[in-house]
Structure formats: structure tokens, C-alpha cells
Amino acid sequence: MATPQTRGNWSGRAGFILAAAGSAIGLGNIWRFPYSTAEGGGGLFVLIYVVFVLLIGLPVLLTELAVGRETGRNPVGAFKKLVPHSWWPAVGGLGVLTGFGILAFYSVIAGWTVGYLGMAVSGKLGAAVDGESSAAIFGSFVANPLWAIALSGLFLLLTVLVVRRGISGGIERLSMVLMPVLFFLLMALALRSVTLRGGLDGVAYLFTPDFSELSYRVIIGALGQALFSLSLGMGAMITYGSYMSKTENLWKAGGYVAMADTGIAILAGLIIFPALFFAQADVTAGPGLVFVVLPTIFNQMPLGLIVAISFFALLTIAALTSTVSLMEVCTAYFVDERGWPRKNATAVIGAGCFLLAVPSALAFGAVSGLSEGGWFTWDFLTLNNNIWGNYSLSIGAFLICVCAAWKWGVPRLLEALEGVAPRYPIPMRGVLTFMIKFICPLAVLLVLIFIVVTGEYF
Ligand code: TRP
């Protein structure tokens, strides 16, 4: 069994925050958030998403971190320690499986970012002058299944190379420099985008809720997005918390991570939607949205080529700090519970994930290509995205809340949250207690029940 010495640790608070923010900030913010917003009708989706981040995301984030630090284990081991001799470790098992499932489609999209980086460097993206020409470039890119498969394989390989080096030497080092650079580049892009002709219409679209759009689909989508974006509901933050020292105050660390993640998602929206209105591209472009819209604004900017190259390079890195966290959950399971050497675990997970990534890479490109340029609504990538990225995370978050609040107990949770750091003000503790005992599990449960009753699955 792995000891704390052999498992590894973050070097300190900054290292943890950057790595956890690195996990949270990724394609979920820049690729998934904009197109989910478009599918959810704009401002209303954003509003519900932000409410879910505050009401559910932040409390669940704090809970996962506390459970992880207290137990010092992967999700399965953590539940074994919290509630010995019970079926609760199965919740951790579902988490490990979910990490695997998400990684298998996430790496396909991450592969697209690498492909776009290549096209930016070779100057091919220069031809994307408006919505139509850009959509054509995207269409022919994803319709080539060999590229999609090779690039997602490459991405999984990169992920393996980082995760096998361990916690502070691999994961932490990667996030330290690159997250701040990403932020400044996004700020610059948002400024350019909102000042484009028609840009303010995009800002209005993002911030004006239209309540006639309300549906269960919008609500489950926003819940899934809040959980997905914060890397919650499957034990990624349990795992990251398990490498953290007892002297840190988790309230603050968790707060910073949630703030950074939500801020960057909004920033990405401020880039995409103004540009979308400017380029008059199709709002319902689905998973291709970002890839179609962004190149058109790069081509409207001074130094657009350099911006395009740096943007896709950084997006690739942001994706990598997230795939690394997904793989780390599965790796920690094999290291802690099965006693495998880390290097073997990463190799096996990487290879297994690649096999599962192939149908996602194929389905999206080949099938949608066959349907004469129209998007096939039922493809393997979207299916995986919904099953693992919405439903499984929601079920996981519900069970994690119930276990921590009702089996383990809120007093122990609060103590674990503070570690040996000073106590937090009473009102904050009260709010969290109320949220984690009642609001979070009830809200998630209601959403899940409505989904089943109304049959609005996807
Ligand atoms: N949060 C990441 C993103 O927004 C994706 C991710 C990484 C994730 N680890 C996770 C999602 C764990 C759910 C669970 O891109």
C-alpha cells in the first residue's frame, strides 16, 4: 500500500491552487461553455450556470477537497476510510470510471486543438475569413478520421508523460507558468472581440436571460457544466486534495479555484459571442462552435497569426492540465488500492483510453461528414459527453454530498476543511452546513428526477 511519502505532495499552497485551477480551467471553459450556452439559449443558461456554481459547485468543491485531504487517498480509498465496510467506495469507483470516460472524449477535442495549432502555424487558418469559409475548414478537418485518431493518441501520450512524473515534479510544474499567460491572452482577445462591429450584440446575448428558453434540458446542461467546469462529481478534487498539507486553509484555496474557473468561462463567452455576431456564423454550431468562430476574429486582428498560434498553443496546454487531472484520478486508484507502480498505471490507462477514444474520434468526423455537412445529433462523442460529463457527474456529486454530510457528518467535514489553520467565521460554517446537508443534494436530486420523469435525456 502506498504511503504518504511514496504518493507525493504539492510543494505548497500556490502549487496546489495552480494545479487545481489547471484542472478546472480547460476545454470545459473555452470549448464546452460557449457551445452549451448557445444550445441553452444564451443569457438564461449563463445565469443558471452561475447560480449552480455558487449554490452547488463551491460547496461540493470544498467537500471534495476536505474529504481528500482528510483521507489522503484516491476516491475509492477515501470512501473506504470515511465509511468502512459499506458500499460507499462504489461511489469512488464510479468516479474513477467517469474519469476514464471523460478522458476518452476530452482527448479527442484536445487533439483538435493540436490540429488547429498546426493549421495556424502552417497558415491554413488564414483562409477562415467569415463564418462560412471557417466552417468549411473545420468540416474538412474533423471529417478526416485518421487525423482525429492520431492527434488524440498524441494527446494521451503527452498526458501519460506528465502524470508518470508524479505530483510536484510533473503536474504542478506544468501549471505554474502557463495559467497566468493564458489569462492575459484571453483578456486581450475579449477586448478585441467586444470592439468588433456588432460585438455588443454578443455581450447582450451572453448576459440577457430569456426566460421563455427555460427547459429541463437547459437546467441539467447548466448543472452538468458547473460540475464539469469545476472538475467535480467524480473525485478529481478528492484526489488533488489528498496531496495537500494539513496546514492549508481549504476555504480560501477552494474559493480562488472557483473564482478563477468561472471568470475564465465568462471571459471565453466574451470572446466567442461578440465574434459570432460579427462573423454571422451559425450559433448552433455545436461542438464545432469555438473552432469555427475563433479563426475569423484572428484574421481580423493585427498580428492575427501570432495571436492564433499562441492561442491554440495555450489552449492545448490548458487542456493538458485538465487531462492530467483526469488521468491522475485513475492512476491514484491503481497506485493506492492495487499497489501498481505509477509508471505502469499511466501506461495501461493511456492505452485503454486510446481504444475508447477511437469511436469518439471516428463518430464525430466520419458520421457527421456522411450526413452531408449537417451535424448528426447522435454521435458517440456527444453521447459520451452527456453520459459522463452530465449524468455521471451529477449522480456522483449527489452521492458525495450525501455521504459527507449525512454519513461522515458536517462537524468532521468542517474540521477537515480547516485542518490546523485558524477556524473560520461561524456564519460561513453555517452557510456551508446548510448547503451541503440540504440545498446541494436536493437541488441535484430534483434535477435528476425531472430528467427521468420528463424523459428529456439529451
Ligand atoms: N474541468 C475541466 C475543464 O473544464 C475538465 C476536467 C478535468 C474534469 N478534470 C475533471 C471534469 C474531472 C470533470 C471531472 O475542462
Give nearest CA residue, ligand 1 atom 7: 322
Give mean pLDDT, residues 259-281: 90
Cβ–ligand 1 contact at 27 (below 6 Å): yes
Q: Is the CB of 28 under 6 A from ligand 1?
A: yes
Task: Confirm if 243 and 8 have CB atoms less than 8 A apart.
Answer: yes
The angle subtended at Cα 32 by Cα 200 and Cα 262, nearest 5°, is 70
Quick one: average pLDDT of 119-140? 89
Q: Is 29 in the pocket of ligand 1 (CB under 6 A)?
A: yes
Lowest mean pLDDT among 130-139, 163-172, 264-273: 163-172
Report pLDDT digits (tens) over 48-84.
999 999 999 999 999 999 999 999 999 999 999 999 9
- 93-107, 230-244, 269-283 — which is least confidently predicted? 269-283
The percent of residues above 90 in pLDDT, for the chain, comes to: 53
Whether 72 lines ligand 1, by a CB cut-off of 6 Å, is no
CA-closest candidate to residue 251, choices 458, 81, 436, 66: 66
Mean pLDDT rounded to a whole number for the chain: 87
Pocket of ligand 1 contains residue 36 by CB under 6 Å: no
Find out whether the beta carbon of 234 lies less than 6 Å from any atom of ligand 1.
Answer: yes
d(Cα 298, Cα 307) in Å, to the nearest integer? 7
Which residue puts its alpha carbon closest to atom 10 of ligand 1?
231
Instruction: Supply the pTM of this predicted model.
Output: 0.91
Span from the CA of 22 to the centroid of ligand 1 (angstroms): 9
The residues, any chain, with a CB within 8 Å of residue 89's CB and separated by 6 or more, are 76, 77, 79, 80
Q: Which helix (H) or strand (E) holds 132?
A: helix 131-142
Closest C-alpha residue for ligand 1 atom 8: 231
pLDDT higher than 60, residue 204: yes
Say whether pLDDT at 378 is over 50: no
Pocket test for ligand 1, best of 231, 314, 394 (most atoms within 8 A of CB): 231
Q: 395 in ligand 1 pocket by Cβ < 6 Å?
A: no
| Reported confidence tier of residue 376, pLDDT bands at 50, 70, 90 | very low
Find the range with the poorest average confidence among 8-22, 79-93, 340-354: 8-22
CA distances from 294 to 34, 190, 279, 379, 416 (A): 12, 11, 10, 24, 43
**Whole-number pLDDT of residue 427:** 83
DSSP string computed for 20-55? HHHHHSSHIIIIIHHHHHHHTTSHHHHHHHHHHIII
Nearest CA among 239, 422, 267 for reference residue 331: 239
Q: Categorize the per-residue pLDDT at 2 as very low, low, confident or very high, splitting at 50, 70 and 90.
A: low
The whole-number pLDDT of residue 374 equals 42
pLDDT of residue 377 exceeding 80, the answer is no
What confidence tier does 455 reach under pLDDT thresholds 50, 70, 90? Answer: low
- The helix/strand/coil state of 355 is helix
- Which pLDDT belongs to residue 370? 40
Mean pLDDT for 190-209 is 92
pLDDT band at 165, cuts 50/70/90? confident
Radius of gyration of the chain (CA): 21
Helices and strands of the chain, counted as H and E runs? 24, 0
Distance 24 CA to ligand 1 centre (A): 5
Q: Is 101 in the pocket of ligand 1 (CB under 6 A)?
A: no
The rounded distance, in Å, linking the Cα atoms of 298 and 192 is 9
**Winning range, highest mean pLDDT, from 283-292, 406-415, 448-457:** 406-415
> What pLDDT score was predicted for residue 398?
95
Q: Give the type of residue at 325.
A: S
Find out whether the beta carbon of 23 lies less than 6 Å from any atom of ligand 1. yes
**324 C-alpha vs ligand 1 centroid, how far in Å?**
10
For the stretch 271-327, pLDDT in tens is: 989 988 887 776 566 778 889 888 988 888 777 888 899 889 888 988 998 999 999
Query: Is residue 98 within 6 Å of ligand 1 at its C-beta?
Result: no
CA distances from 162 to 58, 107, 320, 324, 342 (A): 28, 15, 9, 7, 11
Q: Which atom of ligand 1 is nearest to the CA of 33?
A: 4
> Is the CB of residue 329 less than 8 Å from the CB of residue 235?
yes
